[in-house]
Chains A and B, each alone.
Chain A
């Protein structure tokens, strides 16, 4: 079970929202973070988020029980450990 954490700040809202919209994803607001949890891989398409590059590349605050396999101009993909 992988959890992605995003800082609960205006500039990252669109990124965490796309993550939370994944099938099977669960979202919680936790002490200043938005936590998106899934039993499977989580994939976020950067273009769907609409955020600029400077925000995109600093959006991911933490990764619990998973590892980043792609983080580039196209997508962020995290797979469970």
Chain B
């Protein structure tokens, strides 16, 4: 059988190297570049109980520079504590941020079911196979374990746990998304909503069947 299509040399976004307020190119959107005003993630934030490990992992292992920190005296609600808020550049002017709260007892949900644990993760985007291999090498050189390397449908990914046990995925595109992907997303979402709203049990079989009806309805007679 034919080999899978070659890796894309260009990614979904035009990346910038510093988190400035430079205008950014909109992600390729088959429905048009102006369908919404969002330009990626300003920041995602997580608590950390291991700031040394976190800084070591993101800044020193992955090479993502610290670009902003705040040291903040507790104010507001009674449960608030003095804290340090720090931000790593993850490209495209997006940032990954952490809170370290002084005096807060560490907490980890040990009862999180595996499916839900794997379901919540952060996926960083790189453009090329060389970029992905470079991160894999950095992680291994640091003595850390790559949990998985997977060729998904449209991305190839490596997975590693950060010191906070957050699952970090690093992904490179295998192809660009197309108008057909966007249409299928809408059809699938509608089928899911219809199945959930029906009296029957929501199952993948029910979704396949409803999707077929929706696709058939889209075809001109």
Is B180 within 8 A of A8, CB to CB?
A: yes
Q: Does B158 contact A (CB under 8 A)?
A: no
Interface residue tally on A, bucketed by range: 20 to 34
Provide the main secondary structure of the chain A interface: mixed
Cβ contact within 8 Å between A55 and B153: yes
CB distance from B212 to the nearest CB of A (A): 3
Residue of B nearest to A2 (CB): B212
Residue on A nearest B155 in the bound complex, by CB: A54
Whether A30 pairs with B205 at a CB distance below 8 angstroms is no
Q: Could you list 12 further interchain pairs (A-B, Cβ under 8 angstroms) beyond the known A5-B215, A11-B154, A61-B215?
A: A9-B175, A10-B4, A13-B2, A14-B2, A30-B219, A35-B215, A48-B1, A49-B1, A62-B212, A63-B209, A64-B209, A64-B216
Top 4 A-B residue pairs of the complex, sorted by shortest distance between their CB atoms = A64-B212, A32-B180, A50-B1, A62-B211
Which A residues are within 8 Å of any B CB, using their own CB? 3, 5, 7-11, 13-14, 30-33, 35, 48-52, 54-55, 58, 60-65, 67-68
